[in-house]
Structure 1
């Protein structure tokens, strides 16, 4: 989906309501758990990678993002053709269901063909050398290889990838100069296959490994299909002679393919006799360069450029060299080394001088061949993001909360500025104090932690704030009091001083977890929402309940309108509701989503528009007074967990369940000052300020206590002309 297109979203009539498309400013998200999921386009500019159930095409020069949407679950395999015309992707599905494989047109960004011939999971997917065939390999529940004819868009054949007592196969590799040939590898299995399109069949030849038992994780062959190197989970490399004829038209090996040797690197350490140094946690990715050098990516984050020891090549010519076939020998000389901290799941060449490395920690690095200098290009969360927050009156940075950490991001460059680590715990809420000197966070271990925004140093921690975990958090403008909500249903108020943090009171009204808390602009009221179907408005001066709201839903979020007259709620009933603060009556009810729950809402600073997101993966911007959708944003690959306008109303940030972050250009209506902001702008005399506020309040969708539709309320306490 291109940025200029307006997507057709279920439940939204684009023509009738004149719904516009939110313009995407930047996107942060990369699924590093997909093996060989990072691919570089032959044009040297674009990279292709999965994010949840969508394929992302990113231009590394212009930072433009395009999305290919069509999968219903997480993408497990991805490849781009050597010509650059096609992209193919496969997904995971639930047990008992078929997993789909989709063929995309790269230039038109549209779906060309789709088939569902695999069960549960597509383990690997590749194009043949000349783009005639699309090859896909099923997972453990399937175990079959499927051959798809790209030009005729039809299935040719399928067969089991392993035979007899061999284990599961989960690696596919196409031959470089023989289009109908490819290889499969896995647990104790390594085979060469030939496609007969006329007979609609494929035949396989097993590679002789003698008594050696290995699990193959990756492959790389030279340009003439003479030698193939296979990285294994043991941490060594198998060198295979394929024994193809020198004529590329001959597709059958002249002799049985066999293993030449099993090698590892020459260690710089002094090792005991009879031992070798293996790559830790296995070899996950491998590249064979045009000069015959190998680039090895290991499970411990090591990336090394190695070359075969010339002395070994001399010994290979001797008859005694057969003794070297059945053991791992240190025959690779290390030229250069780099480290990317976590397992390397993808290695791909950008050009002759540089390459990309994708890691299990959802990071993408650029590595130069001459110096092996590592440059971080993309970093993102590795799991669900639970909250997003801007500092007050400072739109240049924002914070996100996830499992193990809090991250601070630059809004303009979409790059990570700071990472605050708290291992083994989940941050459910993050906010900034009004003076910007402290980051407050709520954690599932029941602790409220405060950090410095520049260094991430821990300032203080309120231990045992809630015995079942802290689920909601807010702070007064003065910074002297924090209000927190817990999974046990209690709302607690804390007195904050530089040296001590003291519990003021505990409010016990909710029967279920508190999902959201918000304080009004006057700092005398707070509203809390709970999954027990209740919202309670509290007097935080006297610490008593003012009003309670009940609904047949699980309230997910609640927010005050900037005028403090009404509150907005959303929940599992797919509704967005306007409630009167005075008496808790329902004023308006909107259809927030036609298919799923609305998880989050956020009001713009001027109160003219608000944004919502939910399980339908769609961002909606609403006109507050009109109650209609004005803009939508489609691009998320998972449920939308949080949305937030920047303080200046220029940006809208949304986060998802797959760890992705989208920065949108907010509508201009979110930046316009409204009448209730006149006091902060300092314009006009006191009479005009009061008059403007009264006119603004009178336009809000509400009613007076007298139930007279002609009555115009004059203030937030609901007094009418009568």
Structure 2
């Protein structure tokens, strides 16, 4: 990737919609009280609370798995996952410089958790299940001081580490059948563990907090209760609640200045409870499991992240949830921009369809069909409806203002509807199925009619584009063929074949050429009339090209794929003019707004990125 983009002008990233809510304790407030810190794919994002402005820390090669912020705020640490047999890197970031301070590859496969010492001199890192070790790092020298196996032989996997609030030589680790207090012996470069005694109480600990006075350890468990351990004696002091346990386990704990506990559970319960008897003082119920809690300042305000990639803001006084951010929690499959206005766009994922405003990337509408996945979607040109393709073989048409289901076409395709497009006159829909069939539907007031089924493809349809006169369309398929169809007489006019699985196809605005791309990493120009290949470009050095779109003036097109790079091309020169580097997952779809000002790209990690398009149309 470095060689491919070296010296290339870079796209300006304007906004990112996305938050990895699956990272345990992955949402933090910086001690300056001005920034939220969280992970998205292999990036760490700093978001200014006041105006939402975002900054990005790039350096990881795979998804970020944990985040820690030092007590004074000088450093941020983040760890990642990688593949079996490879080292998982942890990075210490200089907060002021917004730059990498140290890269420390030692753990295998995954960095599970991180914790800074109160004086910001040491960092403790915990390896994942395939590693199982704890390492203490000297931040100044960027070297490991010492390490040890995290769990005793009789114990299971270790999930978390937490540093003492005041003592730079004491930290705690916990997990399945293990709860240890560690003492750092700096002169001898050793860490020595002492097991905590919980008697007959056997628990799997997911999260740990230590009280400000360094007296007690609080442990949230998968059983839905909280253990209170005396840090000095290492003995169980109390546990609870005994009656109403937290459903689906305690995922995250935070201690407020007043001593009370904030608790987040796997069932979405967010509660304030007493640290003495664990009695619930205040409670709120969220839609999905709580995975992180971040306290701002003295604890009058806090932020809560869920595994559905939502962020909520709470105040201590009223304890009411204010939803401040939403994003997809699974791969975004397609993006469509409302024609003409360039103000609204829609995305679809495994869970739902969402409508967004382009300038203020805020969710306006969510459409959910339970247990069904939307594979593709498009706006009708008049903007009055969203047409969508679903894996249950149905085509659904929704109203973009209300999300009301306007029309449903049952049994549209036997193996699910894979691709969809609407004609410019808004009277017909062309759909492609997983079975390779292409069907043309006529829309009537309150009903529909199947006009024709066209069967020449041998594998699933991946993309459909319709000519501006609504008389022809082109379909791309995983069978290595693109077919141009007459959708008035319902016959094939031309076929182009290549040794690839086609993922996407576009008409040039003048409609004498089409361009295709797919798994062979090539971008090919084809003549519409004789099906001859005119030109082939090396579109990517690694991975398939999954998305492509041409500007309305035909001078530029954009591509994105498994190499995670957004590329802007000059159509006539066949050369890349700009590259966008920010995606953490494979790019799944990409679109240019009709005003040539904005470029949208989506990826497999659930992210939606908005870029400034570098070639605006001259007035």
TM-score (normalised: structure 2): 0.97
- 1:167-206 alignment, distance < 5 Å: 167-206=156-195
Deviations 1:76-97 (CA, angstroms, capped at 9, x unpaired): 1111111212121112222333
Relative to total residues, which structure has the larger strand share, 1 or 2?
Answer: 2
Return the alpha-carbon distance in structure 1 between the equivalents of residues 488 and 291 of structure 2: 55
Residue 65 of structure 2 contacts residue 81 of structure 2 at CA under 8 Å; is this kept in 1?
yes
- Find the counterpart in structure 2 of residue 616 from structure 1: 563
SS in 1 for 2:371: strand
The answer as to whether partners of 1:410 and 1:416 remain within 8 angstroms in 2 is yes
Give the alignment of 1:580-599 within 5 angstroms: 580-599=527-546
SS of the residue 2:373 aligns to: strand
How many residues matched?
618
1:415 equivalent to 2:415? Answer no
> 2:5, 2:579 within 8 Å by CA — same for their partners in 1?
no
CA distance in 1, matches of 2:323, 2:6: 42
Partner of 2:234: 257
Q: Counterparts of 1:648 and 1:172 in 2: how far apart (Å)?
A: 50
Instruction: Structure 1: state its 5+ residue gaps.
Output: 1-7, 244-255, 265-274, 310-330, 674-722
1:488 pairs, out of 435, 457, 482, with 435
Within the alignment, does 1:513 sit opposite 2:469 as a pair?
no
Assess if the C-alpha contact under 8 Å between 2:418 and 2:432 holds in 1: yes
Contact 1:171 1:184 survives alignment (8 Å): yes
Q: Are the aligned partners of 2:396 and 2:409 in contact in 1 as well (CA < 8 Å)?
A: yes
Displacement, 1:184? Answer: 0.6
Task: Tell whether the 8 Å contact from 1:129 to 1:177 is kept in structure 2 after alignment.
Answer: yes
Asked whether the 8 Å contact 2:424–2:469 carries over to 1, the reply is: no
Q: 1:106 Cα deviation (Å)? A: 2.0
Conservation of the 8 A alpha-carbon contact between 1:430 and 1:442: yes
Contact 2:79–2:90 (8 Å) recurs in 1 = yes
Structure 2: distance between partners of 1:87 and 1:332: 32
Decide whether the 8 Å contact of 2:159 with 2:207 is kept in 1.
Answer: no
C-alpha displacement at 1:308, in angstroms?
Answer: 4.9
Q: Residue in 2 aligned with 1:564?
A: 511
Deviation at 1:276, TM superposition (A): 1.2
Secondary structure of 1:10's counterpart equals helix
1:13 positional shift: 5.0
Q: Does 1:341 align with 2:287?
A: yes
Which residue of 1 is the match for residue 609 of structure 2? 662
Per residue, is there more helix in 1 or in 2? Answer: 1
CA distance in 2, matches of 1:10, 1:440: 41
Change in Cα spacing, 1:12 to 1:159, as seen in structure 2 (3 Å) is: closer
Query: What CA deviation, in whole Å up to 9, does each residue of 1:114-142 have, x standing for no partner?
Result: 23322222211111111111111122222
Aligned partner of 2:278 among 322, 332, 344: 332
Q: Distance in 1 between matches of 2:497 and 2:339?
A: 31
Aligned 1:397-476 pairs, distance under 5 A = 397-476=344-423
Q: CA deviation at 1:225?
A: 0.7
- Does residue 278 (structure 1) correspond to residue 245 (structure 2)? The answer is yes
What is residue 671 of structure 1 aligned with on the other side? 617
Give me the whole-angstrom Cα distance separating, in 1, the residues matched to 2:157 and 2:542.
39
8 Å CA contact 1:184, 1:190 repeated in 2? yes
Q: Does 1:30 align with 2:19?
A: yes
Q: Could you tell me which residue of structure 1 aligns to residue 491 of structure 2? A: 544
TM-superposed CA distance for 1:220, in Å, is 1.7
Counterpart residue number, 1:217: 206
| Correspondent of 1:294 among 226, 250, 261 | 261
Looking at structure 2, the residues matched to 522 and 480 of structure 1 have their Cα atoms a distance apart, in angstroms, of 12
Alignment partner, residue 306 of structure 1: 273
Q: How far, CA to CA, are the matches of 2:618 and 2:419 in structure 1?
A: 30
Give the Cα–Cα distance (whole angstroms) in 2 for the partners of residues 447 and 672 of structure 1.
42
Q: Which residue of 2 aligns with 1:164?
A: 153
Please tell me whether the aligned partners of residues 395 and 408 of structure 2 are also in contact (alpha carbons under 8 angstroms).
Answer: yes
1:32, 1:482 → 2: CA distance?
Answer: 37
Partners of 1:299 and 1:484 lie apart in 2 by 40
- Superposed CA deviations along residues 276-331 of structure 1, whole A, max 9, x for unmatched, are 1111111111111111111111222111122256xxxxxxxxxxxxxxxxxxxxx3
Tell me the SS of whatever aligns to 1:278: coil
> Is 1:154 equivalent to 2:100 in the alignment?
no
Distance between the aligned counterparts of 2:301 and 2:597, measured in 1? Answer: 37
Give 1:88's aligned residue.
77
User: Are 2:131 and 1:142 aligned?
Assistant: yes
Give TM-score, length-normalised by structure 1. 0.83
Match of 1:55 in 2: 44
- Give the conservation status (yes or no) of the 8 Å contact 2:567–2:576: yes
The alignment status of 1:652 with 2:599, answered yes or no, reads: yes
Contact 1:39 1:80 in 2 (8 A): yes
Distance 2:177 2:521 in 1: 51
2:482 to 531, 535, 542: 535
Q: Per-residue deviation at 1:164? A: 3.5
Q: Is 1:121 matched up with 2:113?
A: no
**Contact 1:604–1:670 (CA<8 Å) still a contact in 2?**
no
Q: Which has the larger radius of gyration?
A: 1
Whether 1:354 and 2:301 are equivalent positions in the alignment is yes
CA contact (8 A) 2:584 2:605 kept: yes
Residue 9 of structure 1: CA displacement?
A: 4.6
- Secondary structure at the residue paired with 1:423? coil
Give the secondary-structure state (helix, strand or coil) at the position aligned to 1:372: coil
Work out the CA distance in 1 between the residues paired with 2:6 and 2:227: 58
SS at match of 2:353: strand
Q: Is the 8 A contact 1:10 1:594 kept in 2?
A: no
